[in-house]
């Protein structure tokens, strides 16, 4: 009887072990199915997230997000280059202590509201790590309210971009 | 019947067969044998179950090995997914300022002329991302100032209300003020909005939607 009881307990333990293994297999299989289904999307999103930060991607060794947002072909991040091309003046700002980021102060007196907003949208879409910590859009005092003439705003921005490694 | 016709052996056998001790012994013997039946059935069942479960364990082990092999092929994708998930706190805290400005432009009534828009990020909290730290804002403050025509009425309040509806839940109007003047009244609005990832009211779509890739 004791032997039978031991056999029964061993069987029950094996049964539980099988149930656990089957559940784990099911979860793993589902995860793999989901991963397979989302591979294209994950790769595209990863590329999109990594693109503003690194210039090339090596699939065997994943791109390290350890660059300051600048491509190899320029001293400043592409976003900042775009702002400069659009009429902004850019200077490096003070980075927060122990933070993996680069900070830039931007200013322009040449752009109207309907040009500033699309530019910001374009840059925010192109670099998902672009944070605008401060933005100030001022209508010049020389321009009357409700003026129908194009009005270049006094634009001041402080932008910050995430980089993975502390510099 | 005369007893001398029955042999002693027959008498002894009959006595032995019908005696209570014999019956008790027989009862115990048959009872013991009867009790062995479920034990035998149990034994057969356990052996069968053991065999089935060992077979099943083998199948599961084979399946697990196949899954592990499949998973190895997807290791690169899995690693990328983990890194994307690691960046989630940063992405969630990023309220697109262009969307806020676009919404202000869209909602501003014709009776208002904006002279100043100031947006500041605040309540920074450090988030550990991979090997570095990044300060993510948890709130933005929006200040809008401008002029309103004399016929404008409460147009600036209307703007504040509509903007509040578009901002993430939990946003609030911090200040509204109107200063009389000629020919225009000067207004000032201040709003605070949390950066919690719910920016759909601003017309922002998820970063991983098909169209945004």
pLDDT digits (tens, 9 = 90+) for B145-171: 999 887 777 888 889 999 999 998 889
Q: Closest partner residue to B102 among A32, A117, A130, by Cβ?
A: A117
ipTM given for this complex: 0.73
Which residues in chain A (93-112) have CB-CB distances under 8 A to chain B?
A: 96, 98-101
User: How does residue B4 score in pLDDT terms, banded at 50, 70 and 90?
Assistant: low
Across chain A, where does the E strand assignment appear? 89-92, 101-108, 130-138, 154-162
**Between chains, do A42 and B81 touch, taking CB under 8 Å as contact?**
yes
Mutate which: B44, B45, B66, B67, vs A, most A CBs within 10 A = B67
Does residue A68 belong to any structural domain of this protein? no
Q: How far is B148 from chain A (nearest CA, A)?
A: 9
Q: In what order do the strands lie in the sheet with A101-108?
A: A89-92, A101-108, A154-162, A130-138, B112-129, B132-148, B185-194, B172-179
Q: How far is A158 from chain B (nearest CA, A)?
A: 9
* Residues of A with Cβ-Cβ distance to B120 under 8 angstroms: 133-134
Pairing of strands A154-162, A101-108: antiparallel
Which H, E and C letters describe chain B, residue by residue?
CCHHHCCHHHHHHHHHHHCHHHHHHHHHHHHHHHHHHHHHHHHHHHHHHHHHHHHHHHHHHHHHHHHHHHHHHCHHHHHHHHHHHHCHHHHHCCCCHHHHHHHHHHHCCCCEEEEEEEEEEEEEEEEEECCEEEEEEEEEEEEEEEEECHHHCCHHHHHHHHHHHHCCCCCEEEEEEEECCCCCEEEEEEEEEECCCCCHHHCCCCCCCHHHC
Q: Closest partner residue to A14 among B57, B116, B120, by Cβ?
A: B57
A19 close to B (CB below 8 A): no
Count of domains observed in chain A = 2
Do A103 and A145 have their domain in common? yes
A63 burial level (CB within 10 Å; 0-12, 13-18, 19+): buried
Determine the average pLDDT of the residues in B125-151.
Answer: 87
State the CATH number of the domain containing residue A88. Answer: 3.30.70.60
Cβ atoms of B135 and B150 closer than 8 Å: no
Does residue A62 belong to any structural domain of this protein? no
Write the pLDDT tens digit of every residue in A94-124: 877 777 888 999 999 989 999 999 999 999 8
**Between chains, do B102 and A100 touch, taking CB under 8 Å as contact?**
no
Mutate which: B115, B116, B156, B207, vs A, most A CBs within 10 A = B115
* Residues of B with Cβ-Cβ distance to A22 under 8 angstroms: 60
Does residue A133 belong to any structural domain of this protein? yes
Determine the average pLDDT of the residues in B114-143.
Answer: 89
How many residues make up chain A in this entry? 167
Cβ atoms of B150 and B184 closer than 8 Å: yes
Do A43 and A82 have their domain in common? no
Write the pLDDT tens digit of every residue in B82-112: 888 888 888 888 888 999 999 999 998 888 8
* pLDDT score of A68: 44
DSSP H stretches of helix in A51-157: 78-85, 113-126
What mean pLDDT value characterizes chain B?
86
Q: Which residues of chain A have pLDDT under 70?
A: 51-75, 164-167
**Between chains, do A42 and B80 touch, taking CB under 8 Å as contact?**
yes
* pLDDT score of B208: 56
Tokens of A80: 């900042």
Q: How many CA atoms lie within 13 A of B58 on its CB side?
A: 6
Cβ atoms of A155 and A107 closer than 8 Å: yes
- The CATH code for residues B95-212 is 3.30.70
**Between chains, do A99 and B61 touch, taking CB under 8 Å as contact?**
no
> Cα separations (Å) of B55 from A25, B51, B61?
16, 6, 10
Does residue A20 belong to any structural domain of this protein? yes
Write the pLDDT tens digit of every residue in B171-200: 999 988 888 877 888 899 999 999 887 888
Strand partners, B114: B146
Task: Flag whether pLDDT at B139 surpasses 60.
Answer: yes
* pLDDT score of A57: 35
Nearest CA in chain B to A40: B77
| Alpha carbons A74 and A71: distance in angstroms, whole number | 6
Please confirm whether the linkage preceding B183 is cis (ω < 30° from 0).
yes
Q: How far is A85 from chain B (nearest CA, A)?
A: 18
Q: Which residues contact residue B179 at a Cβ distance below 8 angstroms, ignoring those fewer than 6 apart?
A: B185, B186, B187
* pLDDT score of B9: 83
Cβ atoms of B186 and B145 closer than 8 Å: yes
Does residue A82 belong to any structural domain of this protein? yes
**Between chains, do A136 and B117 touch, taking CB under 8 Å as contact?**
yes
Q: Closest partner residue to B67 among A15, A28, A134, by Cβ?
A: A28
Q: How far is B157 from chain A (nearest CA, A)?
A: 19
**Between chains, do B50 and A10 touch, taking CB under 8 Å as contact?**
yes
* pLDDT score of A75: 66
* pLDDT score of B1: 53
Nearest CA in chain B to A48: B213
Quote the domain boundaries for residue A46: 1-50
């Amino acid at each position: 009887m004791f032997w039978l009881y031991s056999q029964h307990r061993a069987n029950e333990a094996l049964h539980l072990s099988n149930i656990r293994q089957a559940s784990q297999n099911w979860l793993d299989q589902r995860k793999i199915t989901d991963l397979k289904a989302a591979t294209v999307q994950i790769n595209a999103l990863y590329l999109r997230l990594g693109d503003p930060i690194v210039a090339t991607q090596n699939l065997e060794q994943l791109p390290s997000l350890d660059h300051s947002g600048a491509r190899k072909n320029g001293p400043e991040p592409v976003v900042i280059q775009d702002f400069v091309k659009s009429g902004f003046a850019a200077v490096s700002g003070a980075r927060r202590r122990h933070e993996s980021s680069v900070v830039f102060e931007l200013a322009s007196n040449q752009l109207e509201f309907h040009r500033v907003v699309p530019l910001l949208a374009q840059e925010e879409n192109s670099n998902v790590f672009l944070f605008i910590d401060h933005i100030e859009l001022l209508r010049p005092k020389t321009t009357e309210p409700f003026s129908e003439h194009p009005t270049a705003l006094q634009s001041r921005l402080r932008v910050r971009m995430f980089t993975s490694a502390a510099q | 019947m005369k007893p001398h016709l029955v042999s002693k052996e027959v008498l002894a056998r009959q006595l032995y067969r019908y005696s209570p001790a014999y019956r008790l012994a027989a009862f115990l013997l048959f009872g013991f044998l009867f009790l062995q039946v479920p034990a035998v059935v149990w034994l057969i069942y356990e052996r069968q179950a053991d065999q089935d479960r060992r077979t099943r364990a083998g199948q599961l082990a084979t399946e697990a090995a196949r899954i592990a092999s499949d998973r190895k092929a997807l290791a690169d994708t899995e690693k990328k997914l983990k890194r994307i998930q690691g960046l989630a706190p940063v992405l969630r805290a990023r309220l697109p300022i262009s969307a806020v400005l676009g919404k202000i432009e869209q909602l501003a009534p014709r009776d208002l002329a904006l002279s100043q828009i100031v947006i500041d990020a605040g309540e920074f909290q450090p988030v550990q991302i991979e090997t570095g730290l990044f300060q993510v804002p948890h709130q933005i403050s929006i200040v809008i100032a401008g002029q309103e025509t004399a016929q404008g009425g409460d147009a600036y309040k209307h703007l504040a209300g509509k903007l509040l509806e578009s901002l993430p839940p939990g946003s609030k109007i911090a200040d509204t003020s109107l200063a009389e003047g000629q020919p225009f009244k000067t207004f000032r609005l201040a709003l605070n909005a949390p950066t919690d990832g719910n920016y759909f009211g601003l017309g922002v779509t998820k970063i991983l939607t098909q169209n945004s890739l």
